[in-house]
Structure 1
């Protein structure tokens, strides 16, 4: 058999895969698996025989999509679905089911997105866990909200104003989550998993790259182009195809991409915490300034230390010490017990 770039090879109605000097004839299941892996069978364009338009189609979700996408709402539903490429063999295809079914997980259990918040650097203690099993857009929004809600807020002082921002920007979260949802392998039974540890944020999705790893961020090639098109119409991300570049520029060495033939992993280092864990209602673990860290560390050594003594140790005047102490109390890192003269400090979370 002559070698070439196309695979598998077909001879006299049989399919073969080249393995070194030998050619292995493929069985039916092997042919299907190979075609899926090589993206020769498209999940998103495949007609869904189990979906019944009259019973399963959510017209409110469809109307919301048409409105947000800026489409003509007077056009018949069937006409719009055809123009969007969501009808295959007179049936709604899988992309349409993910977007407009009343509950996508009824048809695809693997469309569920699982989000987990852990209390430390390991999986030993789960603080919160949610499974999102609705339509594509609802799952996306809920996953972003869960991530923003559980990540810390950092406080940036610019001149006399204080700005608040999540430790991982909403743009980065939206890009990473939508990439996982649009580029994942839906033929796999695996689910998208978002895990938030005390020291890192991770997203994993089934499906490796369709191109060389060295080309990640340089080219855009999706195994689910219909889903990408629908996302683009809704402007869920700033610009299709440029997300990885922007994320790398923003996150620099905090982000890594781990890829194998079947899975895609993203890991982001979180800013160093004052302590591990999360406490309800507390803004603990927020990023501290250099002076605040010095103050905090000295208080840990001497709980009875006064503002005057801190001024001598840190090297700034008493007024600035008091401002930083107020900030640390606002962030619920420390608290004052008793009076200024006879009281002492407590480290929140050490009790």
Structure 2
């Protein structure tokens, strides 16, 4: 039987490591009843939602609903940095953040990191308006969600967000699974690497599944380069910024 990384039980975890309020709210929102009304104990909820078994959380359960996932898996986080230039070798940083927490927290804080460092354009709006982001937020949402859900969790490494004055790079551990190609994902084909995480993420983040994320990102902003780096075992999304600042 083939196991995905998300199926693997995490040693030393227990149901006590679940964020119970978060899981209870999720359960009630999804199933329109409380855990008590369903007649389940916490162990039963964890088992029935494929979040763990035998008194332990699996990786999916830890990352989706854990109190402190990085206590057990410190590498599964996002490292974000804004480099004041166009080259990663620059030592001048405008902003940086190590983003931890469950996947929903990582998504929200990663999106906030990028958006607070982008320009806003008036684009025909009133002078007192906040303005539109230079890269559409829906494009950033789709790329971030795809990185968190589809990365390879067999690789003990963080997702990296590298912002430059001319581009934003989002680098995920793991190349495209099996024989999936860049052209195929551009047309909506997908190969589910983490189905448990994906099934719950549809109700936590703006994730729709069915391979629609990359086509939607490209539809809203065409200046995106996709790189499937098989030798480096990583997948890179490069989003060009429309405004080039002076370093």
Partner in structure 1 of residue 70 of structure 2 = 105
Instruction: Measure how far apart 1:246 and its partner are.
Output: 1.2
Shift of 1:247: 1.3
Secondary structure, counterpart of 2:143 in structure 1: helix
Pairing partner for 2:158 from 191, 199, 208:
191
1:134 partnered with 2:96: no
TM-score w.r.t. length of structure 2: 0.86
Question: Residues 231-310 of structure 1 correspond to what in structure 2 (within 5 A)?
Answer: 231-234=201-204, 236-237=205-206, 239-240=208-209, 241-252=211-222, 254-261=223-230, 262-273=233-244, 275-277=245-247
Quick one: which of 193, 203, 207 aligns to 2:174?
A: 207
CA gap 1:238/1:229 in 2 versus in 1, 3 angstroms: closer
SS in 1 for 2:104: helix
2:24 to 41, 63, 86: 63
SS in 1 for 2:170: strand
Between the aligned partners of 1:238 and 1:147, the Cα distance in structure 2 is 18
Normalising by structure 1, report the TM-score: 0.62
5+ residue gaps, structure 2, are none
Q: Which has the larger radius of gyration?
A: 1
- Structure 1: distance between partners of 2:117 and 2:225: 21
Partner Cα distance (1:196, 1:177) in 2: 14
Structure 1 residue 221, shift from structure 2 partner: 1.4
Q: Check the 8 A contact 1:157/1:163 in 2, yes or no.
A: no
SS of equivalent residue, structure 1 residue 110: coil
- Equivalent in 1, 8, 12 of residue 50 of structure 1: 12
Structure 1: state its 5+ residue gaps.
1-34, 278-351
Q: CA RMSD in A?
A: 2.2
Task: Report the number of matched residues.
Answer: 235
